[in-house]
Every structure is written in structure tokens, then in C-alpha cells.
A and B are shown apart, each in its own frame.
Chain A
Amino acid sequence: MSVVEQPALRVVGRELVRHDAVEKVTGRTRYAADVEQPRRLHAALRRSDVAHGRLRRVDVTPALAVPGVVGAYTAADVPNNVLWAPVPGQLPGTGAERSRANMLAEDVVRFDGEPIALVAAETEDAAAAGVEAVVVEIDPLPVLDDPLRSLDEDVPVLHEGGNLLASWEFEEGDVDAALVGAAAVVDRTHRCQAVDHAYLETEAGTAWIDADGVVVVRASTQVVEHHRTLARFLGVEDNRVRVIAPYVGGGFGGKEDLTVEPYLAFVAHRTRRPVRMTWSRQESLRARAKRHPAVMHYVTAADAGGRLVAQDIDLVLDGGAYAQLSAAVLLWSAMSSMGPYRCANVRVRARVVYTNNTPSSAMRGFGAQQVAFAYENQMDALAAALGIDPLALRRRNFIEAGDTLATGQVIPTHVALPELTAAVEERLGELPQPSGPARKVGRGYACNLQSYGFNVWMGDWSSAWVGLEADGGLTIRIGVPDIGAGQASSLVQIAAEVVGVEPERIVIHIGDSTLTPLTGRTSSSRQLYMSGNAVLEAAERLADDLRGVAAMVLEVDADAVELAAGEARAGEDALPLAAAYAACIARSVPVQQLATFHAPTGPRWEARPDWRGRIVPDFAYSCHGVEVEVDTETGRVQILRYVAAHDVGRAINPQSVRGQIEGGATMGIGQALYERVVFEDARNVTRKLANYLVPTAVEAPEIETIVLESGEGLGPFHSRGVGEPPVSPPAPAIAAALRDATGATFTATPFAPERVLATLAAHGVGR
């Protein structure tokens, strides 16, 4: 469906087969761990078994005695073992103004699984034996595992500058006065658990020294620009390290932070030999960053007509033991915490704190995911309190283009939530009958907003190179890592559209910090927007030149020349692009273009309550509707139907768009019903995939997708980002359906059977 009629395009909008899918399905794709190298070493990490403690002794000498071990290293061996990063927005006197990233633990360990020593050996078995042989003695310290206690007086202080990792606050209007006069006030605390990305490919990579002495790291990553961070750890100049991102076996934000790369770079640099490191699934579950657990206290008030009059929001995120991307995640939580709703009186206080739990960092939705559970739960409860239909209540409050949020952010493009909610409602139709006497059925809806692109003070940019070949083929070079969403193939489709080369005659080289133009990280739903616009601009410049030269050859106006199907055509006359190439060369016209797209920029947000301004370029919107059946005897929740409607602006490849919506919604459903990383005294005890319940084909419902093309996005051909938005609505939509079915309120994810039963019992629901 579309809001406005879209111009017909030749290649964009077609369900083209992804070139990478063919390679993948035949087993040809060389992922990070899939390359062989002669004389290669294997590296492995000795990790802490203690969640908080002082390192009394780390002795690698016994490891060096293990046959096959080539090197064993501690923090003292790393040129710059500690890197400090500024905490965005942090004000003097509030909390620490910088955060630490250790390559290996020094003096203190702060979480269970923290890397302490690094072993390199001739074989994997020798590396494992070497890791075992390292002597580690730790004096345990009291652990801090409750984020709500992190700022108390009597708890351990985990970092220089205290346990407040970052905070954002803003206030608009008069919340307290508005609460007094409200017709309905809902005051609740909502909680989300720690979640693992559980991509199928664990963290892996290889590294070597190339012929120019440059350290090359080829790893499963969403960010090739980490070459700079690696250079800092090694104490070399930025251009002495190169990162290559092959096709990634799933990212979801979990490969936005460094994982294996520093260790690989260090061993290659130190030994001058190739090296490989693969984290086991068990290591990955135990020690790699999770989605932030969140405690979200909301007081939401409306007048008798159902218009929001106040939102008073207090967010506490558990950042775990190290900062990683927590401050930015918190900003996303804070700026998205009011939902896609107008409200004149808003107070938001958001904090992320240190604990000894596994570090938290980026995961699909990036902080905007957790708050969607809270603000939508609140809207549902308000609707119930006022006796208004939940969608009707939302419709009275949706923001519109041109509105200003409490942060000062102006909504730049169309907000299609009225169309999206109507489409979902219409699709769902009649609610079915329960399948048994102990079962109840219900329906719920949830809407959300999710920004795409970085915050405007990052000065975000992305570059792309597009070149015509002598035989009429096309080559694209662009630094974008492809994490499975079809990032590369969508760029091929954009270039094919503009230059008129058939997609199968285009080769795209991606993900290399040295040899491909840089694009910034594959995160924040930004690659289609940023890199798509960069490819579009490079392709358009090339196309302009080709049209101009073809016009001279064909003796027509440039306006009359159309590029399609490998030709420059003007009426009956056509010039094959190979001939156009030759004509360009003969006239000294370039056949290659490098273009950079710059996102809008703006002043840096300061964590002062009175700061107002633009934070991000734009948002994407969606509405999901779900029908569930809950068994009041077993607590099992079954999804009967699931409809997801998204405004994607324009679908470059409808199959890829649908895949993002289906996969994202399924991930959100997993978090809503099954998945949970469990901590016991700050020790992560979810160390087996068998204990981490990712939905299989049996649990995953069929997602019915509705793709709306409003033609209003800021991306190429007016597209919007679509990678993250679908992951947020499932939890609140299912909570709403459960309430509809049972009358019980669900304020904490996941809705696992034991929690469902306890919640029903607390509400007096049952047989």
C-alpha cells in the first residue's frame, strides 16, 4: 500500500534475487572463520571465573611450557591496554567524564568471563591447554548485581568516577501541575531482561601482516572503522591497521563493539604470524555484551478525552561492568521514551549504571526497544482506565510531521501511524474462539518510533565509489559491512536503477577499511539511508556523464538519453555502455565517481535539562497487532496471528524489507516470551545455547507483513531504515493481548509460563 503514488522504477522495488544468497546457499561464502593460512596460530583467552575481584597474581610461565604454545600475554604486554573514551553528554560533577575499555584485565576484574590472559599456539588444542595452564589468583570483592542499588552509598564502586555511567535529563511544561488535574493517571514500573543477540555465527576472525607491514584483521564485525581503535591498542598509526569485514553471520548490534579483533591484531603484530580466534558459543553467551536490562518507572496521565497531559519517566539501565556503547543507548532510550505521542508536559530522567553483570551494549533497537514496552503498556493501561479503545486512544495522541518533541526534536517527515494502525486492524478481523475451556484469547496492538541514522552531532558521512567497466559492467566499492540484511544487494539495485546496468553485471566490493571508501558502521538502521544515498549520488554523477557523452555520439539532447538495460538510448538509437565507456575515455570524461553523503548536522546535546534541539535525522514508525491464546493452567502463550505494518518510505527490495520485518518481529517475540540471560550473584549462568531459548520454526509464528510506502523517508528513493523498528512492538503488543485475554497486567518480560501463572494468580485469574 502507498500513501502517495510512487513513480515506477525499473530495478528499485523489484524482488531481485540477492547475489549473496546464491553464494551462501551453495556454501561458497567465506565467513570470518572460513579462510586457511599457512603457519597460522590459534589464539584463545583465559577469562575470569570471578565477577568482581582484585588480581593478586597472573602467571603465564606455565602456559609457555605447554608444547605448541608460542606466546602468552597479560595486560602488561599490551602497548596501550587501556583506552579511554569520553562519555557523551556527561556533565562535570554528575558522573565520570570518560569510560575505560581494557584489552585485558589489569588490577581488577569486573565481570565473570572478563579476559585476563591471551595465549597463542600452533594448534587449537595447544591454545586450550595453554589457557588452562595460566595461573590466576583473584581476591574476591563484594559484587554489585542490582542496578537499582548501584548509586547507593554502601555498594562497591566499580569505576573511577563512580557507578553512574551516564545520564540524560530533560523537562518540558509542568508535569506536577498536569498530574493533579488529570482524569486518569497510570503509575507503573516496567522491566526488561538481559537478552543475547544469539546470531548463528559466533565472534571469529583471522589476522596477519601484509606485504606493506600493515596489520590486517579480517573479522566478523559491523564496523571496519575499528582499525583506528586497534591502532591505538597497538600504539601504531591509524593507517597501519586494516580491518576487513567479510559477509557477517548475523550482527544485530552485537558485533558493533570490538570482540576478537584486538586479540587478533595484537598476536599478529607481536608474532608476525597469521592467527585465528573463534569464540565458542559458550564464551559468547557468557561474556559478550547483552541488551540492557531496564527498569522503567512511568507515570502517564490523560484528560477525560484521552489526550495525554503528562509523562513522568524514570529509566534505569543496567550497563554491566564496562561502558561500551551504554551512553549512546541511554540517549536513544531517553529520546524515544515518550513514544510517538504528543504531550505538553514531560519529565525524563534516564540513567545507566555500572554493575558486575555482563556488560550491556548495542542490540537491535538500541535502547528504544525497551522503552517501547513501557510506553505502550502505559497507553494500554490508560485506555482501560478511561474505557477508550486502545487504538482510538493512540490515534488521539499520535505525533505528526512538524511537531516538536519534548527534546526539541522536530518530526521531519510524515508519521503514517493512522494508516498503519488502520491497516493492522482491518487485516486482523474477527477474534477466534479459545480452543479449550482453560484457554483464553485476546488481541493487542503496539506502535513505536525508531530513529534511523546517528545523532546529528556525530557529523555522520558515508562514501561510495562507482565505476563503469570497459565491457559495460559496473563496479561498486564501499566500506559497508553486510550483516545479512541485504545491505550490499540493495546498493547494487540502486546503482543498477540509476546507471542502467543489469544487476547481474555489477560487482560490489564491501567492508574494507583500507581499500573501500568508508561508510561508518552498520548499525542504527543507517546503512540504506547513508550508504544508499552515497551510492545514489556517485551513480547519478556517473549517469550524468554517460548521458552527456552518449548525447554527443547520438547527436541528441542529453535529456533525451535514457540509461537502461546496458544501453544509453535515445528513441530508436542506442549506444551500448561499453561504447559509451570508450566515448568517455576519448573525450577525457571520467568513468568513475567517488561521492560522500553527509547527514544533517547540529549542535551537540548537553545533558542539561533545558537543552533543546535536533538529535537524529528522522524516525521510522510501525504498528503490530497480535492475537494470542493463553493456557491458564500451564501458563503457555501461543501466538495465533501476528500482523506487522511498517512505513518503509520505499522498498528498494521488497523481499529484503519483508525479511527484516519478519526476522525483527520474531526476535522481539523471542524476547517477549522465551529469552532470558540469567545472573546469579552477577555470574551469568546462561552459558549454553540449550538454556537460551531462541525461537525455532515451531515457536515462531507466521508474520503477516504490511509494507507501506509513504515516499517520505530521507534515504535513497525516499526510503527509511527498517532494520531495527520491527523488534520493539512485539513485547507490548503481546502484553496487551494477554491483558485483553485475561485482564491481568504484564509489566516484565519475558512472559514465560511460570511468570504468566504467577501474574494470573496475582490477578485472581484462573479456572
Chain B
Amino acid sequence: MAAELELGFELNGTAVRCGAEPHWTLLRVLRDGIGQTDVKYGCGEGVCGACTVLLDGTAVSSCLLFAPQVAGRRVETVAGLGSPEEMHPLQREFVERGGVQCGFCTPGMVLGGLEAVALDLCGSPEEIRHSLSGNICRCTGYRGIVESVAAYASLPPTDRG
């Protein structure tokens, strides 16, 4: 079955094209159309944040966007931030401070944290917690996550990757 849409956008710095149906969400385009499986499905309601991506630099729930809305835009996922050999500084904080258990919330949480720091919404642990309230973690109790974001936010801007 030929797809109705031929979609082009930038994904983690590379131009991609893929077929999609207009009713597909960006989440589905990324996971099933392109195989970008580091973006997670957790609810499809815009509640859990597992599907978070950066769209032109802004954190969005990819389960709430439809395929046509991303044409020509810039999408970043956690896999584009760093690799196991060369982690992004925020990824390193998550690993070292117990911000990761099952890891299913982690891609969305890292991107949410990154945006919170970029928007300077990390002045205190309370502010960080509010900034991350769109991302659910069922495993950690959040302490390790909040500390990771705080540690990253305290880095000089030149060291933030």
C-alpha cells in the first residue's frame, strides 16, 4: 500500500524522507516509518513524556503531533545527543547519579531536562521538578533525575555540550 504522504524533515542532523499516512503521529513516523526506536510510546495521550523529542529545539510530545506538521522541520532525539563512547554531559550525569533504572522514561526525560536547562528553568530543585512534571518516571522516585539536571545546569555553558 503506497503511503499518502512523502515526508521530508531533518532528523538528528540528517535529512530523511519517508512515506506516512496523514493520520500518523510523529511518534509513529519516527518509530515505524524510520526505525528511530529511541523515541518511546508510553501513553499516546500527551501525559507521560516518554515520546518527547526536540522540534526546532523545543521539547514536544511526538504522540500529539501529526505527520504533516513536521515537514521541513528539525527533529532531535536522545540518540542524536551522544553515543555510549561519547555521551552528552547530561547523559553522563543521568548514568552517574542513578537517573536511569528501567530506562524507558530516560530518552524523554533527558530531552525534557535539556530544554529546562536551555530555558533557564533550573534555578532550584523545586523549579527543576516543575520543569520535569510532564515526564513520568515510575522507577526512580526522581531524585537521581533531578540531581542529574541540577548538576548539568551548574556546568559552565561552554561545557554543556
Are A and B subunits of one complex? yes
Question: Which of A141-149, A247-255, A440-448, A568-576 lies at the interface with chain B?
Answer: A247-255
For chain B, residues 59 to 112, give those with C-beta under 8 angstroms from any C-beta of chain A. 77-79, 81-84, 87, 91, 94-96, 98-107, 110
Q: A22-B84, A199-B138 are in contact. Are A249 and B133 (CB under 8 A)?
A: no
Indicate if the CB atoms of A21 and B102 lie closer than 8 Å. Answer: no
Which residues of A lie under 8 Å from residue B42 when comparing CB positions?
Answer: 200-202, 281, 689
Q: Which residue of A lies closest to B81 (CB)?
A: A26
Indicate if the CB atoms of A26 and B91 lie closer than 8 Å. Answer: yes
Q: What's the Cα separation between A278 and B94 when bound, in Å?
A: 28
Which residues of A lie under 8 Å from residue B160 when comparing CB positions?
Answer: none
Q: Return B16 CB to nearest CB of chain A, in Å.
A: 16
Q: A281-B44, A659-B101 are in contact. Are A25 and B138 (CB under 8 A)?
A: no
Indicate if the CB atoms of B101 and A34 lie closer than 8 Å. Answer: no
Indicate if the CB atoms of A202 and B95 lie closer than 8 Å. Answer: no
Indicate if the CB atoms of B50 and A662 lie closer than 8 Å. Answer: no
Q: Which residue of B lies closest to A22 (CB)?
A: B84
Indicate if the CB atoms of B141 and A249 lie closer than 8 Å. Answer: no
Indicate if the CB atoms of B103 and A700 lie closer than 8 Å. Answer: no
Indicate if the CB atoms of A663 and B84 lie closer than 8 Å. Answer: no
Q: Return B90 CB to nearest CB of chain A, in Å.
A: 9
A29 within 8 A of B: yes
Q: Which of A20, A25, A200 meets B136, CB within 8 Å?
A: A200
Which residues of B lie under 8 Å from residue A22 when comparing CB positions?
Answer: 84, 87, 95
Indicate if the CB atoms of A21 and B94 lie closer than 8 Å. Answer: yes
Q: Which residue of B lies closest to A249 (CB)?
A: B104
B26 within 8 A of A: no
Which residues of A lie under 8 Å from residue B141 when comparing CB positions?
Answer: 659, 662-666, 700, 703
Q: What's the Cα separation between A247 and B105 when bound, in Å?
A: 13
Q: Return B38 CB to nearest CB of chain A, in Å.
A: 3
Q: A250-B102, A697-B133 are in contact. Are A688 and B38 (CB under 8 A)?
A: no
| Residue-wise interface mask of B (4-44) relative to A, using a CB-CB cutoff of 8 A (1 in contact, 0 not) | 00000000000000000100000000011001011011111
Which residues of B lie under 8 Å from residue A18 when comparing CB positions?
Answer: 95, 100
Q: Which residue of B lies closest to A694 (CB)?
A: B136
Q: Return B13 CB to nearest CB of chain A, in Å.
A: 15
Q: What's the Cα separation between A248 and B31 when bound, in Å?
A: 18
Which residues of A lie under 8 Å from residue B99 when comparing CB positions?
Answer: 25
For chain A, residues 242 to 283, give those with C-beta under 8 angstroms from any C-beta of chain B. 247-252, 278, 280-282
Q: Return B65 CB to nearest CB of chain A, in Å.
A: 18
A460 within 8 A of B: no
Q: A484-B101, A694-B136, A698-B129 are in contact. Are A202 and B41 (CB under 8 A)?
A: yes
Q: Which of B21, B78, B79, B101 meets A485, CB within 8 Å?
A: B101
Counted as pairs of residues, one from A and one from B, with CB atoms less than 8 Å apart, the total is 180
A429 within 8 A of B: no
B146 within 8 A of A: yes
Which residues of A lie under 8 Å from residue B79 when comparing CB positions?
Answer: 26-28
Q: A18-B95, A249-B103 are in contact. Are A125 and B21 (CB under 8 A)?
A: yes
Which residues of B lie under 8 Å from residue A248 when comparing CB positions?
Answer: 102
Q: Which residue of A lies closest to B142 (CB)?
A: A697
Interface size on B, residues (CB 8 A): 58
B2 within 8 A of A: no
Q: Which of A122, A690, A694 meets B45, CB within 8 Å?
A: A690
Q: What's the Cα separation between A124 and B33 when bound, in Å?
A: 12
For chain B, residues 123 to 147, give those with C-beta under 8 angstroms from any C-beta of chain A. 125, 128-130, 132-146
Indicate if the CB atoms of B132 and A200 lie closer than 8 Å. Answer: no
Q: Which residue of A lies closest to B39 (CB)?
A: A27
A17 within 8 A of B: yes
Q: A278-B41, A690-B45 are in contact. Are A24 and B106 (CB under 8 A)?
A: yes
Indicate if the CB atoms of B143 and A21 lie closer than 8 Å. Answer: no
Which residues of B lie under 8 Å from residue A125 when comparing CB positions?
Answer: 21
Q: What's the Cα separation between A363 and B136 when bound, in Å?
A: 19
Indicate if the CB atoms of B138 and A250 lie closer than 8 Å. Answer: yes
Find the residue from B101, B103, B130, B145 having the highest chain A CB count within 10 A. Answer: B103
Q: Return B156 CB to nearest CB of chain A, in Å.
A: 22
A483 within 8 A of B: yes
Q: What's the Cα separation between A248 and B101 when bound, in Å?
A: 10
Find the residue from A29, A248, A280, A667 having the highest chain B CB count within 10 A. Answer: A29
Name B residues whose Cβ lies closer than 8 Å to a Cβ of A: 1, 21, 31-32, 35, 37-38, 40-45, 47-48, 50, 77-79, 81-84, 87, 91, 94-96, 98-107, 110, 125, 128-130, 132-146
Of all A-B residue pairs in the complex, the 5 with the closest CB atoms, nearest first, are: A27-B38, A484-B102, A24-B103, A249-B104, A662-B141
Q: 5 more A-B contacts (CB under 8 A) besides A123-B1, A484-B103?
A: A25-B107, A199-B104, A200-B50, A201-B40, A663-B138
Name A residues whose Cβ lies closer than 8 Å to a Cβ of B: 17-18, 20-31, 33-34, 36, 68, 122-125, 197-202, 247-252, 278, 280-282, 483-486, 655-656, 658-659, 662-667, 688-690, 694, 696-698, 700, 702-703
Residue contacts A-B, CB under 8 angstroms, 26 given: A17-B96, A25-B106, A26-B38, A26-B79, A26-B84, A26-B91, A27-B37, A197-B138, A198-B138, A199-B102, A200-B104, A200-B137, A200-B139, A201-B104, A248-B102, A249-B103, A484-B103, A485-B139, A663-B140, A688-B45, A688-B47, A689-B136, A694-B136, A700-B129, A700-B142, A702-B143
